[in-house]
Homo-oligomer: A and B are copies of this chain.
Amino acid sequence: MEYYSGKINKLIESLASLPGIGIKSAQRLAFHILDMPQTEVENLANSMIDAKRQVCYCSQCYTLTDQEICPICKNPNRSQKQIMVVENPRDLAAYEKTGKYEGVYHVLHGAISPMLGIGPSDIRLKELMQRLQQEVEEVIIATNSSLEGETTAMYISKLIKPTGIKVTRIASGVPVGGDLEYIDEVTLLRALEGRTEL
């Protein structure tokens, strides 16, 4: 790595530390960045710093947003009585793309995984239970259909059942082992329509 001068090496190393970017891609990106106009580089750098500084959790659904309450929770046309539980904001976005869901969300920021040592207290479950003290008619569990997602779904349903609130799980039209964010809208809608009571 001593074939470039200090600043270039530092840039390549920083880029290579990002997920999915190897040393070759990092080199390519670094030289692209050095070729970009100064203002564009500053825009790119500032968009990172800005996002990191100003993005926080929605105080209601815990998705990432740059406001106190996210636009979905704030929207008066969305039913607050239907809460869809997802693992992360990318999964929320995947369902938003279908344009058909009219309830609100709850973002767990993870799934229960004994393998990785992630327990129920490591995800936003307590916050979900607190929300259920308000008037809620249905909780739709849309965690991934991976082992961790299913475990989390079972755990949540057992937790909510005693409260008498209806708990549903999106249908397994979603292929087993699939990651919500990569699935096409039609399949996602199929899964929403075919949800069954737990």
**A55/B8 in contact, CB under 8 A:** yes
A154 contacts partner chain B, Cβ-Cβ < 8 Å: no
Measured CB to CB, the nearest residue on chain B to A3 is B93
Tell me the minimal C-beta distance from A109 to chain B in angstroms: 9
Q: Which residues of A, 78-108, contact B by the 8 Å Cβ criterion?
A: 88-90, 92-93, 96-97
Chain B residues, Cβ within 8 Å of A8: 51, 55, 64-66
| Chain A count of residues within 8 A CB distance of the other chain | 56
**B18/A32 in contact, CB under 8 A:** yes
Supposing A5-B64, A5-B65, A32-B19 touch, asked if A11 and B90 sit within 8 A by C-beta, the answer is no
Measured CB to CB, the nearest residue on chain B to A38 is B52
A82 to B177, CA, bound (A): 58
**A55/B20 in contact, CB under 8 A:** no
Q: Which residues of A, 31-79, contact B by the 8 Å Cβ criterion?
A: 31-34, 36, 38, 41-55, 64-67, 70-71
Chain B residues, Cβ within 8 Å of A25: 20
Chain B residues, Cβ within 8 Å of A24: 181-182
Residues of A within 8 A of B (CB): 3-8, 10-11, 14-15, 17-20, 24-25, 27-34, 36, 38, 41-55, 64-67, 70-71, 88-90, 92-93, 96-97, 181-182
